[in-house]
Amino acid sequence: MLFLLCLLPLAWLFYAAATNQLGANPAEALIRRLGDWTLRGLWLTLAITPLRELAGLSALARFRRLLGVYSFVYATLHLLAYGWLDMGLDMADIGRDIAKRPFILMGFTAWALMLPLFATSFNKAIKALGAKRWQTLHKAVYAVAVIALMHFIWMRAGKHNFTEPAVYGALLAVLLGWRVIRRLRTA
Amino acid sequence: LPGARSAVPGAMVMDKPTSYTDATSYNNFYEFGTDKADPASYAHTLKTRPWTVSIEGECAKPGRFDIETLLKLSAMEERLYRLRCVEGWSMVIPWVGYSLSELLKKAEPTSKAKYVEFTSLADKQQMPGVRSGVLDWPYVEGLRIDEAMHPLAMLVFGMYGEVLPNQNGAPLRVALPWKYGFKSAKSIVKIRFTEKEPVSSWTKAAQQEYGFYSNVNPNVPHPRWSQATERRIGEDGLFAKKRPTLMFNGYEAQVGQLYAGMDLKRNY
């Protein structure tokens, strides 16, 4: 059910692109919206644990990995859309762009950090790594979220447009802040 | 708003005009919001009559010009200009108006008039975006006097044969086809001749990113992205390779001499 729900934004984007509903600059719209959904996916993934503990919805736990995997899928499509629609899949050009522009480097780093998490997202990997090590590895998602947010802020800094990054920033502060407080209380 | 085909060299490019829908729905006009669709959604609140433009500063004949007077000041011309946005996209727009110099000459600028400064309307009642702190309002832009006097520098009252839509800078704006789009101030209420170089709003907001000249230049990248290529709105398909950006947006033959001997990497 959630599996299909997560596909909905993607299906809508494909449909909008195919029927010319993405406005005057469809390439830009596609890249940005895929980025938006990556952030939303990550934030939702991070919201699972607090929601589970605060609202006692233990049933939510099984959705966490699925949401994480989807965040990676959207991040990959975002990267692919940038590489293809913006850079014409010119690998040398993309490499130069990543090296030269900090905000692109941030985005790429966040994606690269998600890669090992995605690669170890199936049950056998948990067994192979051992639950404890798997847990530690997957704490990298916090770094991913912070770097992804920096990527977003930096991108918007070009046009001084910080309203949306501020909203995402505040939400992330709550999500991570809750974890810090919990840690302090149990320590 | 009809205009006769312009005879100014370089005023009629061979490119295919952008569709009216794209040109009026994908706009940067932060006084109405930062989203490209915001100006088309919110600019209907802008009242373009009555409208006066005050001409001030280093000139013998300062004064206030009513929009009706400005419309009759010189013969309306239609010009097909390329428009290159600093963000990396471009359009081709049939503007209606006349050379900015026609108006500037009337004010008789003095020898101290080295620059021209444009101020746009900043009215919270009519412009919802002005309540946000994205820029230090009002929007200010400027040109060197020889740039402003160049025949291609255009004072615009219409586009596509019609009166300028609000989201495109009604009732009057400038169009400077060899510069990035943000240099072309919209909904102008004040024109001032100055001795010192004016500080543009975008330069004030981020000096290392938006220089005073901001001439279209494929060789000088913006700190966040390359300016070597551009996407032509409505024409370059989703998977098409972007087209190369031309020096001075293709107007080098007309405006190149304005910058002879200048280091364009430093004077970006």
Give B104-162 pLDDT, tens digit per residue. Answer: 999 999 999 999 999 999 999 999 999 988 899 999 999 999 999 999 999 999 999 99
User: Is the pLDDT at B59 greater than 90, yes or no?
Assistant: yes
**DSSP string of A48-88?**
HHHHHHHH--GGGGGHHHHHHHHHHHHHHHHHHHIIIIITT
pLDDT at B43: 97
A135 touching B (Cβ < 8 Å): no
Chain A residue closest in CA terms to B226: A97
Query: Reduced to 3 states, what is the DSSP secondary structure of residue A90?
Result: coil
Structure token pair of residue B6: 């312009």
Position A21 confidence tier, pLDDT thresholds 50, 70, 90? confident
Give the residue ranges of the annotated binding site of B for Mo-molybdopterin. 27, 30-31, 85, 120, 168, 173, 184-186
Size of interface A-B (CB pairs under 8 A): 55
pLDDT at A70: 96
Chain B residues within an 8 Å CB radius of A30? 238
Mutual orientation of helices A102-119 and A91-100 as an angle, nearest 10°? Answer: 110
A36 touching B (Cβ < 8 Å): no
B233 touching A (Cβ < 8 Å): yes
What's the one-letter identity of residue A78? Answer: H
Q: Are B115 and B194 in contact (CB under 8 A)?
A: yes
Number of domains within chain A = 1
Place of tokens 């471009």: B90
ipTM: 0.83
pTM, rounded to two decimals: 0.91
Structure token pair of residue A30: 């596609």
- Which sign, positive or negative, has the C-alpha torsion B178, B179, B182, B186? negative
Q: Are B173 and B159 in contact (CB under 8 A)?
A: no
Strand partners, B163: B158
A160–B234: do the CB atoms touch at under 8 Å?
no
pLDDT at A88: 86
Task: Please give the residue range of the domain that contains residue A22.
Answer: 2-186
A10 touching B (Cβ < 8 Å): no
pLDDT at A60: 83
